Amino acid sequence: MSRNSQRVLLSEEQIQRRVRELGERIGADYPGGALHLVCILKGACFFLADLARAIQRDVVVDFIGISSYGKGTTSSGEVKLTKDLDLSVEGADVLVVEDIVDSGITLHYLVQVLEQRKPRSIRIAALLDKPERRVRPVQVDYVGFQIPDRFVVGYGLDFAERYRNLRDICVLEESAAGG
Does residue 144 touch ligand 5GP according to CB under 6 A?
no
Of residues 72, 27, 28, 34, the one with CA closest to residue 53 = 27
What beta strand segments (E) does the chain contain? Answer: 6-10, 35-41, 59-67, 80-83, 93-101, 121-129, 142-146, 152-153, 169-172
Does residue 102 touch ligand 5GP according to CB under 6 A?
yes
Does residue 93 touch ligand 5GP according to CB under 6 A?
no
Stretch in the footprint of ligand 5GP (CB under 6 A) among 8-16, 19-27, 49-57, 146-154: 146-154
| Strand order from edge to edge, sheet including 169-172 | 6-10, 169-172, 152-153
Residue among 50, 93, 99, 168 that touches ligand 5GP (CB under 6 A): 99
Residue 102 appears among annotated catalytic residues: yes
Among positions 21-60, residues that touch ligand 5GP (CB under 6 A) are: 43
Catalytic residue, candidates 102, 129, 158, 168: 102
- HSE-up (13 A, CA, CB side) for residue 150: 16
Residue among 104, 125, 166, 176 that touches ligand 5GP (CB under 6 A): 104
Site residues (CB under 6 A) for ligand 5GP? 43, 68-69, 75, 98-106, 151-153, 157-159
